[in-house]
Structure 1
Amino acid sequence: MQKIIEPIIHILYLTYIFLMGSYFLRNALGNKLYKGFGYLAVTLGLADLCYLIPRMYALLTTGIEDNLKFIGWGRILNSIIITFLFIILYEITNKRYSRKDNVPLNKTFYFLTIMRIVLCLMPPNNWFEMIPNSIFALIRFIPLALMGVLLLLIIFIHSKMHRDVHFQIILLGVFLLLPTIEPLIYFKDSSTFIIALTILRTVTLNIIILLGFKELRKITELSRY
């Protein structure tokens, strides 16, 4: 039953998230804020695609253990692409509040991004094992956690200053997002909890995207009159 239901759910989800990204990119009409939400949706879709396609292939063929090489490459790409979600959220926040370029802060974000990618590519991650290295999961999480904390501070200051309810919800979303990025840190021997945190991460990011969708849909409807 799992071989049938799980791939169907994954395909439906991936179709939805890419359609959502397409909607933003087609209807943003030069608005960089909502284009940013489109890039966020597409990037999330790509990250999940890299994780889900190898898993679906394994389920439909000879199983997870026989396809660890394919799954390992999916894990690597997923971890790298997820890093860019934080860069996109940072850029969306900048566009939302028309923040001037803060060169030192930009450099900090880009430096942490490069550091995270390098750590993701290092052999001790054991991506091609049944259970990757949980200690290295913590190490590669550090630059992402620093990016997350900086992002939380920026959103907190500006959303409070502008009484921006939607970005106060996004603030909560980013806060919930951080502990779900590397579930292997907490539950290396429990696939159930790892899957649960992965689902929570996906749901949290989709709520953030839906907030942008709600705003753009309202603007699109008003532009018809």
Structure 2
Amino acid sequence: MQAITETIFDVVYLTLVVTVGIAMTIKSGGEKQYRLFGIMAIVLGAGDSFHLVPRMIALCTAGLDQFTVALGVGKWVTSITMTVFYVLLYYVWRNRYHIVGRRGTTAAVYLLAGARIALCLFPQNGWLSASAPLSWGIYRNLPFAALGLLVIALFYRSAKEAGDRAFRWMWLTIVLSFGFYIPVVLWADAVPAIGMLMIPKTCAYVWTVLIGYRAMKEGRQAD
């Protein structure tokens, strides 16, 4: 039952975010923020597919234990693409709210993203192992969480100051995604059921993507 339910969910998720991303990229109409948003959605779906496709195959065939290497590589790729996702989301913020300057903020984004990616490259992460060390899971997610907090603060403040109803909940989607993700990092190995939190985490990212898509459609209708 888990195999069928999870596979259907993952197929719908990947198809949705990639399709929406392509649509936004094509139909952005010269609006840089929406083109960036579309690329961001494609990166999200494409990156997650490296982990979810092997997982779907494993669940429907020999089981997760037989796909340790493929799943590990997928997690590694996803860790990097999710970092790129937040860098792109930062530039969506800059374009949407016409931010000029703020070199310190940009430097912080690149520093945190660079630290996250660099930590993901260390062999101590044990990506290809069935028993990857928890400590390195924490190390590599510290700069990632800091990057997320920074983006949360930026969207919360800017949307509130600008009275931006279309993006008023963007900050919350990121809060939810991290809120569901952090327990998985910390406790999923000890309590496998906690891994189910990845489903609402994924839903939070779908909400993020749909906020951008809806804003684009409403903007085009207003024109």
Same fold (TM over 0.5): yes
Consecutive unaligned residues of structure 1, counting only runs of 5 or more, are none
Let me know the Cα RMSD of the aligned residues: 1.9
Distance in 2, Cα, partners of 1:29 & 1:96? 15
Residue 192 in structure 1 maps to residue 203 in structure 2: no
Percent of aligned positions that are identical: 27
Long gaps (5+) in structure 2 = none
Q: Distance in 2 between matches of 1:204 and 1:165?
A: 18
In 1: Cα distance, 2:3 partner to 2:81 partner: 27
The 8 Å contact of residues 48 and 74 in structure 2, kept in 1 or not, is answered as no
1:88 and 2:127 equivalent?
A: no
Aligned residues: 222
In 1, Cα distance between the equivalents of 2:100 and 2:159? 16
- Distance between the aligned counterparts of 1:202 and 1:169, measured in 2? 16
What is the alpha-carbon distance in structure 2 between the residues aligned to residue 222 and residue 171 of structure 1?
A: 24
The two structures have a TM-score, normalised by structure 2, of 0.90
Partner of 2:201: 201
**Structure-to-structure mapping, 1:1-225, within 5 angstroms:** 1-182=1-182, 183-196=184-197, 198-223=198-223
Residue 129 of structure 1, CA deviation:
2.5
Q: Secondary structure at the match of 1:99?
A: coil
CA distance in 1, matches of 2:6, 2:178: 26
Asked if the contact 1:120–1:140 (Cα under 8 Å) also holds between the matched residues in 2, the reply is yes
**What SS does the aligned partner of 1:138 have?**
helix
- 1:37-75: per-residue Cα shift (whole Å, max 9, x none)? 212211110122011111122234422112211111011
The whole-number CA distance in structure 1 between the counterparts of 2:154 and 2:222 is: 30
8 Å contact from structure 1 (residues 116, 140) kept in 2: yes
Match of 1:43, SS? helix
Per the normalisation by structure 1, the TM-score is: 0.89
**Structure 2 vs 1, CA of residues 151 and 222 (structure 1 numbering), >3 Å: closer, same or farther?**
closer
Q: Which moved more, 1:126-135 or 1:154-163?
A: 126-135
Q: 1:5: how far off? A: 4.6
CA–CA separation in structure 2 for the residues paired with 1:148 and 1:69: 28
Deviation at 1:177, TM superposition (A): 2.1
